Amino acid sequence: MIPPSIAAHIREEANLCQERCVHPEHALAIRRLCLPADQARQVAALFAVLADPTRLQVVLALLQAQDGEFCVCDLAEGLGRDKTTISHQLRVLRHQQIVATRKVGRVVYYRLIDEHIRQVLLLGIAHATGPCCEQAEGE
């Protein structure tokens, strides 16, 4: 029987090219199509922010808000978290330009800034819960 660590290494090796063969036309196409470094950092930062489970829950709640917005107290109560935690997560989301605020007296309401975040989340949910992921889990 092969030890698990060696089996994992063998599977990893099977996914690597066995020869050093560069296709110049492919390399050139990759260079032409890749994001500039600053844009790649911005997109990576967006996904890093959304990778936090609490922030993701906050954004998903805002995504489903009937009026398009919630105040901190409603988000905290609905998510079963304290107001301090939710306020902190909303501050991070605001800093990354994912949410915007509207103040009415002493109450601050939060909403998603644009349709792009909604689309990213809906696609992410579809991907994570779709048949391709169910098949991958069963392998």
Work out how many domains the chain is built from and give that number.
Answer: 1
Q: 30 lies in a domain?
A: no
Q: What's CA 11's distance to the chain center, in Å?
A: 28
Q: Which residues pair with 101 in a beta bridge?
A: 110
CA 72 distance to own-chain centroid: 22
pTM (2 decimals)? 0.73
Highest mean pLDDT among 74-83, 120-129, 130-139 belongs to 74-83
Would you give the DSSP letter of residue 98? S
Q: Evaluate whether residue 87 is within a structural domain.
A: yes
Are the C-beta atoms of 57 and 125 separated by less than 8 Å? no
Both tokens of residue 109? 């309401």
Q: Is 69 helix (H, G, I), strand (E, B) or coil?
A: coil
> Is the model's pLDDT at 62 over the cut of 80?
yes
* Span 1-31, pLDDT tens digits: 667 766 565 556 666 656 677 888 888 888 8
Domain residue limits at 58? 37-138
Q: Which position has the token pair 């089996």? A: 7
* Residue 132: pLDDT over 90: no
CATH of the domain at 101: 1.10.10.10
**27 lies in some domain:** no
Does residue 78 fall inside a structural domain? yes
| 10 located within any domain | no
Q: Using the Cα atoms of residue 51, residue 57, residue 43 and residue 135 in order, give the sign of their dihedral.
A: positive
Indicate whether 29 belongs to any domain.
no
- Residue 104 in domain: yes
In a domain, 115, yes or no: yes
